[in-house]
Amino acid sequence: MHLNSLAQDNSIRYHGLDALRGMAMLLGIVLHAALPYIPNVEAFWPADESSSHVINTIFQFIHIWRMPLFFILAGFFANLIISKKSWKSWWGNRFLRIGLPIIVFSPLMSLTLPWIFKYGNTGEFIFFYSDEGQPFHLWFLWQLMIFVIFTAIFRLPYLGGVEVVNGLNRIGLGFIGSVFRKSKSVLSGILFRSRFPLVFIILCSVINLPTEGELILNPVGSGLYFAVGYSLYRNSSLFMFRFWKRIFYTLHFVRFFWFDSKTIDTKSYILICHITFTKGYHPKRCGIRFAQPLSLITNCPPLI
């Protein structure tokens, strides 16, 4: 069945996306288990005496796409719920499934994580309660709630704008509404549906620059990924592997050379990115050994 047909059938269960989300959640265990062995992590995480550049490379490789993936999936399923039911149903669903966990688990985080971190840093076992460091690992839920509140606030002005456009149509000024609709279509096409999403990549890079690619303090960057996911629903062209491969390579390039070049081994980074996401290529086919990963650039076919 064609992807557009799948998207129009709101009863479809996207088992592949469920599996993708589950895989990303399991990789969260890998990331947090790797943190003590990453160089220069002492400032914000209990560190082991020994560190590993290999573990650091694997960590950064997963970290660059894991949280953006969660926001993309959140946007996708938000559009699915809204299309199947309504905006009010989505707002109610989010307040129940996101707002309630925040209310319940925020105090529990303050009750457990502070003394666990203190024990990891100093070896002292002292039980205490502290809100310092909030929202802890719930920051993802807090940002999703920001999106929900944002849409709830601006939904009414948007509907008012729609009524204004309809009023212009009734008095013979429909061309104004047509200009707005065409501008919206062109803008979304340039941003999301171009064969090489250069505008999206530049915008994403600029938005992520102030926080060095970290989304925990950048709800605007998270919102951009959420918007991509929202556009992904009912848009089969965005399912194309080539589209996402280009985004992946470019974002990895930007993240590495802007933010991580001092902490990640360049050769290992290029090796992992190329082997994992270039379909059908293997180091042996490129005539190289793992001790010579930089020769991928000269011996392998083009990345894109």
Query: Which pair of tokens denotes residue 202?
Result: 């530049």
Domain ranges of the chain: 3-264
Residue pair 264/62 in contact by the 8 Å Cβ criterion: no
Q: How far, in Å, CA of 6 to CA of 234, rounded?
A: 8
pLDDT of residue 252: 58
Residue pair 56/264 in contact by the 8 Å Cβ criterion: yes
Residue pair 273/47 in contact by the 8 Å Cβ criterion: no
Q: How far, in Å, CA of 45 to CA of 121, rounded?
A: 8
How many Cβ atoms are within 10 Å of 69's Cβ, its own excluded? 16
Place of tokens 């509907």: 159
Pick 144 or 178 by higher pLDDT.
144
Segment 98-123 mean pLDDT? 88
Residue pair 263/246 in contact by the 8 Å Cβ criterion: no
pLDDT in tens, 36-68: 888 888 777 887 888 888 888 888 888 888 998
pLDDT at 293 over 70: no
Place of tokens 């065409």: 182
Widest CA span in the chain: 76
pTM exceeds 0.85, yes or no = no
Q: In this predicted structure, which of 38-42, 252-256, 298-302 has the lowest mean pLDDT?
A: 298-302
Q: How confident is the model at residue 281 (pLDDT cuts 50, 70, 90)?
A: very low
Q: How far, in Å, CA of 193 to CA of 171, rounded?
A: 34
The one-letter code for the residue type at 229 is G
E-strand ranges in the chain read none
